[in-house]
């Protein structure tokens, strides 16, 4: 598969915490860990770029979006009843 530069740039993310680039689409590190076991970045780097606290915040975002979606669906039903329901 050929990837154009724009797409590549959108996918390419940088983690300041671990001083390493990762692929934001597949959530995998692009840079390998260095060989230095005392390296403060690589020794603590997780297997995947998503950190537990980020994961939690993503889960919360999803929950809040689901609530918004639900209330939007209720609103649609209300509006439909207003338009078509009471004749």
Site residues for Zn ion per CB under 5 A: 34, 39, 41-42
CB of 34 vs Zn ion, minimal distance in Å: 3
Least distance in angstroms from the C-beta of 75 to Zn ion: 51
Residue 58's nearest CA partner among 27, 32, 30 is: 27
Q: What one-character-per-residue DSSP string does 2-29 give?
A: ---HHHHHHHEEEETTTTEEEETTTTEE
Identify which of residues 37 and 52 has a Cβ nearer to Zn ion in the complex: 37
Q: How many residues does the chain have?
A: 87
Work out how close the CB of 79 gets to Zn ion at its nearest, in angstroms, rounded to a whole number: 56
């Amino acid at each position: 598969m050929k990837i154009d530069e724009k797409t590549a740039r959108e996918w390419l993310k940088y983690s300041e915490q671990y001083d390493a680039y990762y692929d934001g689409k597949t959530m995998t590190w692009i840079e390998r860990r260095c060989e230095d076991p005392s390296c403060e970045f690589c020794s603590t780097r997780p297997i995947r770029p998503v950190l537990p606290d980020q994961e939690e915040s993503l889960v919360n975002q999803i929950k809040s979006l689901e609530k918004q979606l639900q209330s939007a669906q209720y609103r649609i039903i209300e509006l439909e009843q207003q338009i078509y329901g009471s004749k």
